[in-house]
A and B are shown apart, each in its own frame.
Chain A
Amino acid sequence: MSRERALVDGDWLEARLGDPGLAILEVDERPLVYNLGHVPGAHCVDWRRDLQDPVARDVPSPEAIRALWRRVGVGPRTTVVLYGDMSNWYPCFALWLFELYGLDDVRLLDGGRQAWLAERRPLATDAPPPADRADAPQPRLRPELRAHWPDVAGAAAHGVQLLDVRTPGEYRGELLAEPGYPQELAQRPGHVPGARNLPWDACVAPDGRLRSDAELRALLDERGVRLDAPAITYCRIGERSAHTWFVLHELLGMSEVRNYDGSWTEWGSMVGMPVVLGPDPGEPLDAASLSLPGLTR
């Protein structure tokens, strides 16, 4: 994957409005902003309703994902373009989820809603009707893109790169969540043993667009992240870490990077799970002290 393939800009998208081979999806932290005006033809995807299982804490079922793709017009050869508010935080989660379920051609509008508005591009207020694509593809799970907590425990024990993309205050254990997210708390603050802190928004320029590849590589080098070694990203509930996953996997071409969507709300709530406080990664997890499945990875 590369920047040219994974990212599109406003000129690219505006020139293709109305193209039946394109499905444009807006995914916002606050889905109601879609009603104020959106890219013409864009469908609204609600992350609470569409991008998680309605009962269990999990990604949607394959059936639910296929129903979503059918509704928003994803066919076998469709190019999906995602964009949204807050510098594309949630669109990246949708992109990761769609690739997790085997979709091949999923792209991100650089800068998202913020850039589209700043460039004074056309907006529509009418929502398109459901596309009802009977040929929506059958989801094919790609488990290599997702990490579960035993994978993270194994990584922490064996020196696999763990990237905590939350704010420094959350990483150090001074906060359970950024102000304004009172519903998304773990039982304990801190970080996974051995995890490095790489706040996701360091990859985003002030105008909401992603930084250049050279800037991203310099940033990662400065933080001690190796692009030639496997990595797992995590945050609080898996959305911010999907943004960093996008940067590493889609822009910079890291092949072995997984998103831990259980993230801190899972790890920080499990009984007996080691937690590190403070600004340093801390010692690797002592696998011998825990009799947990998955630590042999």
Chain B
Amino acid sequence: MSSSAREPDDDAADAVTLQGVRAELRRVRAGLVRIEEGLAALERDGAAPAPRARTQRRPRPERYLRLLVDVYERGGRHGLDSGAFGALGAAHGYDRRGLGGFFRGEHAPLALVEGRVQLTPEGARLVDEHLRELSA
């Protein structure tokens, strides 16, 4: 799976529960914030064409973001070993192939550092964004 791809079951799984609806509402609110930021940036920069901003990337599913938060909280400074990461991923419904997507691409949120799973700066950014959404 691509790190930015939304899996087909995510929408269906989210939509049938109150928690899912709330998660969707948070995503919509976050999307509005991103649009406002994009508009403000365009107004500030004179509407010049610009590379796709970080904040304009595709929203990630709730479970995707929760897994990143878990890596942050449970990995500490050194990160997680592959066994612990696999177990966390399974708890969020990801198989091995799905977990591989977290490490691929220019904006991969996770990296293997000396054999341990750690957030990249992009992963840390997603964690910060998600924590802000949860606290809104």
Residues of A within 8 A of B (CB): 30, 32-33, 35-36, 85-87, 89, 111-114, 117-118, 179-180, 201, 204, 206-208
Contacts and interface: CB of A to CB of B under 8 A. Distances in A.
Given A33-B69, A206-B116, A89 B74 contact: no
A87 B77 contact: yes
B57 interface: no
B116 A180 contact: no
B18 interface: no
B23 interface: no
Contacts of A180: 121, 124
A147 to B, nearest CB: 24
A114 B135 contact: no
Nearest to B81: A206
B132 A32 contact: yes
Given A85-B76, A86-B76, A117-B73, A32 B135 contact: yes
Contacts of B81: 206
7 contacts: A35-B134, A36-B131, A86-B76, A114-B75, A201-B77, A207-B76, A208-B77
Given A32-B135, A33-B69, A180-B121, A87 B127 contact: no
Contacts of B134: 32, 35-36
**Chain B interface size range:** 10 to 19
Given A180-B124, A204-B78, 17 more contacts: A30-B127, A30-B128, A32-B128, A32-B131, A33-B73, A35-B134, A35-B135, A85-B72, A86-B77, A87-B78, A89-B77, A111-B76, A114-B73, A114-B76, A117-B73, A206-B78, A207-B76
A36 B69 contact: yes
Interface in B92-136: 116, 120-121, 124, 127-128, 131-132, 134-135
Nearest to A204: B77
Contacts of B116: 206
A118 to B, nearest CB: 7
Contact of B73 (A85, A89, A111, A206): A85
Contacts of A114: 73-76
Residue in A33, A179, A201 with the greatest tally of chain B CB atoms within 10 Å: A33
